[in-house]
A = this chain, B = another copy of it.
Amino acid sequence: MRTGIWLVGGRGSVAASTVAGAAAVRAGVLPPVGVVSELAVFRDLPLPSFDDLVFGGHDPATVGLAKRVERLAGDGVVPPDLPDLVRADLHAADAEIRPGLTDTGHRAGTADEAIDTLAADITDFRARTGADSVVVVNVSSTEAPVTPHPAHASADLLTAALRRPEDAGVLPASSRYAVAALRAGCPFVDFTPSTGARLPALDQLFRDHGLPYAGSDGKTGETLVKSVLAPMFARRALTVRSWSGTNLLGGGDGAALADPTRAAAKIRSKDRLLREQLGGPVEGGVHIHELPDLGEWKTAWDHITFEGFLGARMTLQFTWQGCDSALAAPLVLDLARFTALAHRAGRSGPLRELGFYFKDPVGSDEHALDRQFDELVGWAHGLTRAPR
């Protein structure tokens, strides 16, 4: 069954890696390393195959996907010969990208009208490609935290506000895309810490429309490691006394997060895990610094002090040197595949069982990676065993 993946931020590094990687796997030139849904444990599930996937998206940027992938090759992220091998697929996806919300564009008229335009882009894509289902995934840059508005509290209030020109700014961009997905009858996945569907009004709308949504903030590096180390300390009854993290980010992500208000959203979602896992706040914190020289790469250094038996004071440090887009892309594919399956199985509302993929999972307080993995496996198999 043909399945569409509609990428908000469709010309960024993550999107480019997703499209290029799916094409490379389909063509058999690269193995699906990092694609969790390809693990043996998921083999029997009727997930959309790589051959079934078609890509489109929203992005005001005009630099095409082929150029992006060439830049990834120059940065040593992907093999030098990959751009040529998957050029046709990149062009095909590029042709399905629409500008979406632009800085100026969404100020004119009501939010409602703008959202309808976005939704039309998605339904046109679905019709044109013959996709049975389209999953909308937000992989654009991190927004500043949302400004509170009374209309966020209920579906009715929001619906009314969206129609009022004076409330054109009631929803941040990420939430407009979530509503557009909804209007197009599509599930929505937020891979960023932006607001997306995480407002009471939107949660209600997704439930009302029988559509699932998932998020938020893909767990790709430092937080992934934390999600196994923090439970390790907890299970060994060791007292973590401080946990300090420094993140050096290159590329677009670094620039976006150099803005303190945007970084705040990211840091909040990174901090949640430790509190949950360690039973309370610990000293230290997460710090994000832009370092353009790193390009597509990021480096995180975490310094953890802990206390053992007899008051002995010990330290664990780790340094993670990863490539964000190569880490994120296979998870985007996983999320789209699992969400499409859930959609077909009639699930709606927050998919808390996808917490395995997120720093700040909607609907769940579980942050231990192993528990999240078990939940994912059980849930995914349950989708097909017990259709509703």
Contact = CB atoms under 8 A, between A and B. Distances in A.
Nearest to A35: B237
List the number of copies, as a whole number: 4
Contacts of A239: 33
Contacts of A80: 73-74, 80
Interface in A274-301: 283-285, 287, 289, 291-294, 299, 301
Interface string A226-250: 0111011001111101101010100
A229 B237 contact: no
Contacts of A225: 229, 232, 316
Given A74-B80, A308-B323, A309-B329, A237 B34 contact: yes
Contacts of A24: 310
A195 interface: no
B322 A319 contact: no
Nearest to A298: B314
Interface string A114-155: 000000000000000000000000000000000000000000
Given A36-B237, A311-B30, A319-B317, A287 B327 contact: no
Interface residues of A, number: 78
A79 interface: yes
A76 interface: yes
A293 B73 contact: no
Interface string A28-70: 0010111110110000000000000000000000000000000
Interface of A: 17, 20-21, 24, 30, 32-36, 38-39, 72-74, 76-80, 82, 224-225, 227-229, 231-232, 235-239, 241-242, 244, 246, 248, 283-285, 287, 289, 291-294, 299, 301, 303, 305, 307-323, 326-327, 329-330, 356, 368-371, 373
